[in-house]
Amino acid sequence: MFIKTLSKKIMLTASLFMAAMAFTACSSDDDDNGGKAKLWPARSTSDNLWGYINEKGEMVITPKFTKANFFVNGLASVEVGNSKWFFIDTNGNIKSGNATFDEAKTFYNGYARVKKDGLYGLVDTNINYVIPPMFYHLDNVVANGLLMCKLSSSGKYCYVNTKGEKVIDYQFDDAFPFYDGVAAAVKIGNAWGLINSSGNIIVAPKYAELRYAGSNRYLFASEISSSTTGSYSCLYGLMDASGTEVVPAMYLGIDGDEYDTSGRFAAKNANGKWGFIDGNGNTIVDFAYNRVGEFLNGYGSVYAENGVGQIINTSGQPVLTLEKGEVSEGYHNGLIRIYKKQDDKGHGQTTYKYRNLEGKTVYMWVESY
């Protein structure tokens, strides 16, 4: 979950998560988890290894992993030791047989990206390769049957299908996935535009920044020149998949989670305050905050100057007040993961908690740094 601050927001290609284990945005409540019980990755309070808890905070899969991701389609990727990844089911049983990977991501639309011997490939839910490791970069998001990839560090980006067959040629200097299955943001030269799944240009490259922000909206940025200093800054707005600028470029920052469907977007006004707007630019939460956390699975967060945060619903109403200094990492299947640093200078300890919407902390652990 991103936390917006007064500093200028730059475009990111992935969400900001805690270092030890990714609280992945693609672990949305839409994931059926293979019809299994809801489980959350959690760190042991004794040996710093990761296991899985249930909604009561009971450790139901023994901590034995150095990293652990959320379950999707009844499978989770976990690491044992240094860069030895495999997949387990909700009983903690290994489902990838003798196959181990240098890296393994969370499933998305029935596929997961894996890394072996320095190259990326794709596996299905049977942990069989559908694309053998062959790409220098391969995105983890399969949408409309397409993945963004490139063959070398200096190469161009293209899009392939789930067999690894090229569908849209190598021609882009940077690119994003087809999150909504309709359009993808691509960079040609120094400008961003939109293409459809046939590779045809929908929006000619002309934007300083452009990426999918969830809920059928794309955030875009137009550069504004300062006549006095000669410098450039950006104003942000929202467009739809056809390229229509639904919300004009008038904000100092806009963001939304690619996987969220709530239609709520964080926005920063001319006074440097954050609030939330909907996909048409209507204010949902007043611009009164120094920082906010994106909506995911129906809940976002706002933080007052005194350091006290609140979890809010899509109507902007508070549903839970956090303790001073606590920050939400996101809501997933009934629990919110929260952290609190001992200080802001990178010293001491960070406390992590899982808390339900009734305000009860069901599990917690402490990490030193």
CA proximity to 322, closest of 313, 331, 309? 309
Per run of 10 residues, the mean pLDDT along the chain (length 369 residues) is 37 29 44 67 94 97 97 95 92 89 95 96 96 96 94 95 96 95 95 97 96 96 64 88 97 94 96 97 96 94 95 96 96 95 77 97 92
Res 83: pLDDT: 80
Res 96: pLDDT: 83
Q: Cβ-count burial of 17 within 10 angstroms (0-12 exposed, 13-18 middle, 19+ buried)?
A: middle
User: What sign does the CA torsion over 152, 158, 164, 165 have?
Assistant: negative
Res 82: pLDDT: 82
What is the total residue count of the chain? 369
For residues 280 and 257, give the distance between their C-alpha atoms in angstroms, rounded to a whole number. Answer: 17
CA 25 to chain centre: 4
pTM equals: 0.86
Within 8 A by CB and 6+ apart from 64, the residues are 49, 50, 51, 80
CA-based R_g, the chain, Å: 21
Res 230: pLDDT: 54
What six digits make up the tokens of 287? 């611009």
CA 210 to chain centre: 16
